Structure 1
Amino acid sequence: MIWNKKFDGTKESLVDKSHKPHTPHPNDHTEIELKWIKDYIRRNPNISMLELYGKLRIDKGSSRHACSLFIILRKLGYYKQKQHQYKKYIPKPYDTPKILGIKWQLDVKYIPKA
C-alpha cells in the first residue's frame, strides 16, 4: 500500500503531496516543436499566427491543429489576451417633473356609472 510505504512514524509524512504529474502529457508539444516556434518568432517577431502555422506545416511537417498552436503561443507569453476595460457606471440624476401631470400615469380600473 502506498500509504504504508510513505509512513515513517510522523503525521507529516501522511500529508497529501502535490498532484502535479512528473512527466509531460503524451499529446503536449515536444521540446523540438517549442524550439521551432521560438526560433520562428525570434527571427520574425512580426509574424502572424496563421503565417507561423503555415510555415510549421510546410517547412517542419507539423501535424498539429492550429488551435493548439494558438494556445501554446498564449502560454509562452507571445500573445496576451486583451483586458477589457469597461466604462465605469455613472448614475444619472432622476428626471423629477416640476409640474403635476407631466409624468404621472393613472390606471383606471373601474369607471362608475353616474
Structure 2
Amino acid sequence: MNIITQEARKKQAIVKYAEKNGKSSASRMYGVSLSSVKRWCKRYDGTWQSLMEKSHRPHSHPNRHTPKEERQIKNSFKKFFQRYGWDGVYSDLLRKGYSRSFSGMVYAAKRMGLAERSKPKKKSRISRRYPEILTPGEKVQIDVKEVPYNCLRGSVLRNNKHLYQWTAIDECTRMRFVYGFEEHTPENSVRFLLMVIKAFPFRIKTIQTDNGTEFTYKYISDENICPFDKALQKLGIKHKLIPPRTPWHNGKVERSHRNDQRYFYDW
C-alpha cells in the first residue's frame, strides 16, 4: 500500500467518524481542520478512492504560447525541421519576431505533437573503432562530388557542362580545401593534389580515396597506372584505397559533402 492509498483510507476513517459523531468532533479527534473534514465529507461517495488527492497542476500556464505563436512554430517546423533540425526552425522563428527561448519552442512543438513520428530503424552495422589520427598530415581524405546542375551559373550553364567539386580534409586538424573542375578526370585529381599540398601548412604522408577512376585504375587495368598514383609515387605520398562500396571509411569528407548539399546547394 503506497502513501497515497494510506492517506485516502485515513480520510475515509475521518469521514466515517464525522458521519457518526459530527464534523467538529472529527476535527478535534484527528487534529485536522474543520474545513478539510467538510470538504472530504462532500467529496466522499462511499469509496476511499473518491478521497484520493488529485493533481494540483494547473490546466494552463499564463506564459503559454499564444495561438499565433503555435501557428508560427508549425509553419517553420514544416519548412525547416527535416533539413535543418531544431536550430533551423528556431532561426526562422527569430527572423519572424519570435521572442521565446529555444527550449520553450521545443517544448511547445512537442506538446503539439510535432517531431513524434519515429524514424524507421536502419540495419545496424558493426561499429569498429579506428585509431585516432594525432599528427597533421598523417592522413588526408579526398573525394569528388558533382555539383547539382540547377546550381550552375554563367558559362558552365550556357555551354551545358558539368562541374565537379574536389574536397580534401585532414583527419587530424579537419582543415579543408575545395576546388572545382569541369571534367571528372585523373589529370584534374593531380592538379587538385598539387593545390592541396601548397595550401596545407604541413607535410602530407597518406592520401585516402575511394576506388573511382579519377584516383586509381586498380579495378580496370593491371598494366596502366593512374596519373594520380604516379603523382603520389613521385611525391613520396602513400595512397590508401578504401574497400569497395564502403563510403563510411571516408566518412569525414563524405559528411562534408552532405553538409555542402544540405546547407549550400539545397538552399
TM-score (norm 1): 0.48
Greater RCO (Cα-Cα under 8 Å, separation 6 or more): 2
Of Structure 1 and Structure 2, which has the larger fraction of its residues in helix?
Answer: 2
Larger Rg: 2
* TM-score normalised to structure 2 length: 0.25
Structure with greater strand percent: 2
